[in-house]
Structure 1
């Protein structure tokens, strides 16, 4: 409200409208593709607790971006969408505070370490990181697909939640995605309530992505503005809808769809890399 008041008071309506029209006129199809990818990725992630990074990474790898730039762009955009998603889950009562506290600090530490490592390797070793990340997203796609056919289990005590969160944060930063598929699927596989797992993981994800985005910004600066803007707008539009749909979507069918999309995208990238060799 304060930002809106300042903009309209000190800049005026007409300059804002002309400025937005100029920005829209200079945008290419990248923005629209990223908007659609951000909307779909956040819709799936907010409703199932996984998928944002994996789907976005697959799209940006296909577009040929540098691995470090990909992860930096995704986490900068995801910082906004995960914040909206986390708030929505908290508002609808989907958060287990005890689980959130156990995941917070380890997840943040893993995210910072993963971002530092990828920033150091991203440019010099991009030739092998790109196919390596494709293999990683292929593994995550298969894991998501397997989860679709896994039978529900009785609740079990989850051990080493902090270590799980650390690994999820590290792989999420280094691979551009993986927090949800690793942490959410592991906790749900132990028989935990999907509603509270997804809500708690989504709230923690905001702090994980914030830590990762700040680290990438310090190390690399900010680039690929149109891709980031598209992901942000799409994610913000989908976040409240996804939080409302949690537990109501046909989980098995959505898991199958997301898993197939990620697998096909990863195979396409690997095929293109092998063809060059």
Structure 2
């Protein structure tokens, strides 16, 4: 892993370009690649979230600059996501979080089919979700993200766009809220490590991978805010749906 800086720079660049433009995939892609190298799930999640502190910060700045953020939606999502993420970190560092993976794969498959069907049905009807629905969604998304090493975008962006929220502002808002989630989750992992509640064996051996993910992600982040601004809502919805289906197939393949 010490010689993997360039590889993970490329992974980070491509993953963040997709994540910033479609509202998902950075955490899932980065943690999946780490797991394929034999990294333990908790260590993979911690490494990915540490890198995401920098990449989501850059992505949030890009979306704010391009006016892709719905601040009312943000105010409901971000605090709930932080609470869910901290709780998920506790679960991951205390128990086996793999039991949730089949349910996440099923959720992605159903949501992907629903979003593609909506995109193909004709003109996209947009409606803003209520604050009452945003808080529990943010909490669940933060929990899934921490336990799975990624999942904030696939769970939150999927649900909001599937319910009719505007793709552009949804993606920008979810990406901006994710910065606060990753900071909280990273702090929770660090607290668990320092207090002795978690034995993160070998985590220092993955610093090159984390560095590569950070550099590649930060370089790609400014591009994504502009891309999502210029793509029509229907095309964006179809692209998100296809990506979600691909993630569902991949997650199912890994489980099998």
TM-score (norm 1): 0.77
Alignment of 1:160-179 (within 5 A): 160-179=133-152
Between the aligned partners of 1:260 and 1:200, the Cα distance in structure 2 is 22
SS state at 1:65 partner: coil
Change (3 A) 1:267 1:40: same
- What residue in structure 2 maps to residue 5 of structure 1? none
Q: Counterpart of 2:56?
A: 82
Deviation at 1:53, TM superposition (A): 1.6
Specify which of 113, 135, 138 is matched with residue 102 of structure 2.
135
Cα RMSD for the two superposed structures: 2.4
1:153 equivalenced with 2:128 (yes/no) = no
Which residue does the alignment assign to 1:18?
Answer: none
8 Å CA contact 1:140–1:181 kept in 2: the answer is no
The residue aligned with 2:255 is 270
**Whole-angstrom distance in 2 between the partners of 1:157 and 1:267:** 30
Q: Give the deviation of 1:66 after TM superposition.
A: 0.7
Residue 230 of structure 1 corresponds to 212
Report the equivalent of 1:186.
159
2:76 is equivalent to residue 102 of structure 1: yes
The answer to whether the 8 Å contact 2:161/2:237 transfers is: no
The number of aligned residues is: 238
Measured after TM superposition, the shift of residue 153 of structure 1 is 3.4
Gap change, CA 1:262 and 1:31, over 3 Å in 2 = farther
Structure 1: gaps of 5 or more residues: 1-25, 272-277
CA distances 1:215-252 after superposition (whole Å, capped 9, x unpaired): 11222365311221111111101100111101445536
- For residues 185 and 68 of structure 2, the distance between their equivalents in structure 1, rounded to whole angstroms, comes to 24
- How far residue 92 of structure 1 moved from its aligned partner, in angstroms, is 1.0
Q: Which moved more, 1:200-209 or 1:241-250?
A: 241-250
Candidates 184, 197, 200, aligned match of 1:211 = 184
Contact 2:87/2:143 (<8 A) preserved: yes
Does the C-alpha gap of structure 1 residues 178 and 262 become closer, same or farther in structure 2, counting only changes over 3 Å? Answer: same
Q: What's the offset of the Cα at 1:201?
A: 1.1
Query: What stretches of structure 2 of length at least 5 have no aligned partner?
Result: 194-199
CA apart distance, 1:63: 2.0
Indicate the residue corresponding to 2:197 in structure 1.
none
1:258 CA drift (Å): 3.1
Contact 1:61 1:70 in 2 (8 A): yes
**Alpha-carbon contact 1:144-1:255 (below 8 Å) kept:** no
In the alignment, does 2:20 pair up with 1:46? yes
| Offset, 1:266 | 2.8
Q: Aligned equivalents of 2:86 and 2:157: distance in 1?
A: 20
